[in-house]
Amino acid sequence: MTVPPFSANVPGGMPDGWKPLIILRTKKPTQYRLVRKEGRTVLHARADSASSALMHDLDVDPVRNPWLQWQWKIPALLKTADNTKRATEDSPVRIVLGFDGDKDSLPFADQVLFETAKVVTGHDFPYATLMYIWENNLPVGTIIRSTYSSRIKMMVAESGPVGLGEWRVLSRNIVEDYEKAFGEKPGRLIGIGVLTDTDNTGESAEAWYGDIRLERAPVLTTVVDGPANASLTLPPFP
């Protein structure tokens, strides 16, 4: 299954099928723009003490297309980022997945948090959010619970300086990762997004995102994180 590809767009504007998501109105937004890079259209992100996402709404059963493949590129890490601490929870690149579920089944504290977040941000939050991030130090596959909510989990997809300045192509089984992160089977996948944020560290970051796809089976063959997930560096796509 194809998420609206950035590469199908003309450089200079915003991609069709995607919309900005302001996480907090008080935050400076990340700047997203389609650019031509190495022969194709990709999404460029720049954050200067900023945080906002770009999202695409979905309504799919993740079990039918459990393999998420994406491409990203960053020139540098955030020097002071540490996603285990609220004061420094930033990442130069994130892939964000929102899942549906029964919010009434959650503890009262989580329900109150959802309602409060809606008042503050102006939009509903998913039942559960899983993010893939590029972390400074923690090993690939590490799950980090957000300091804001137990319903937000981050999984380290890349770690450290290996691969900086290169197009990286990654593939993850989102059903297995969700079960590992939340201890239950996922509901429907209702949203997918990208997020480059530096609001907590106050640093500046630049990143590029290539196309994102949902597949029935893995398409990469070099396994670096066990039998269920793969990561491979490829030349720039045509």
3-12: per-residue pLDDT in tens?
999 999 999 9
pLDDT of residue 10: 95
The proportion of the chain whose per-residue pLDDT surpasses 70, expressed as a percent, equals 87
Q: What was the pLDDT predicted at 122?
A: 60
10 Å CB burial of residue 64 (0-12, 13-18, 19+) is: exposed
Mean local confidence (pLDDT), 184-191: 96
The pLDDT of residue 171 is above 50: yes
pLDDT at 226 over 60: no
Give residue 117's pLDDT: 59
Each residue's pLDDT tens digit, 96-154 = 999 998 877 877 677 776 666 565 556 678 899 999 999 999 999 999 999 888 899 99
Helix boundaries (H) for the chain = 108-121, 174-182
Q: Which residue has the higher pLDDT, 26 or 192?
A: 192
User: CA triplet 191, 196, 202: central angle to 5 degrees?
Assistant: 140
Mean pLDDT of 27-47: 95
Distance between CA 48 and CA 189 in Å, rounded? 30
> Which of 68-72, 82-86, 170-174, 233-237 shows the lowest per-residue confidence on average (mean pLDDT)?
233-237
- pLDDT above 90 covers a percentage of the chain that reads 74
Please determine, for residue 224, whether its predicted confidence score (pLDDT) is greater than 60.
no
CA-to-CA distance for 59 and 153, rounded, in angstroms? Answer: 20
Torsion sign (Cα): 187, 190, 194, 199: negative
Q: Comparing 18-22, 39-43, 52-56, which segment has the lowest mean pLDDT?
A: 18-22
**pTM check: above 0.85:** yes
Would the pLDDT of 228 be above 50? no
Pick the CATH number of 6-233 from 3.10.50.40, 2.60.120.260, 3.40.1000.10, 3.20.20.70: 2.60.120.260
Encoded tokens for 207: 């990143």
pLDDT tens string 47-75: 999 999 999 999 999 999 999 999 999 99
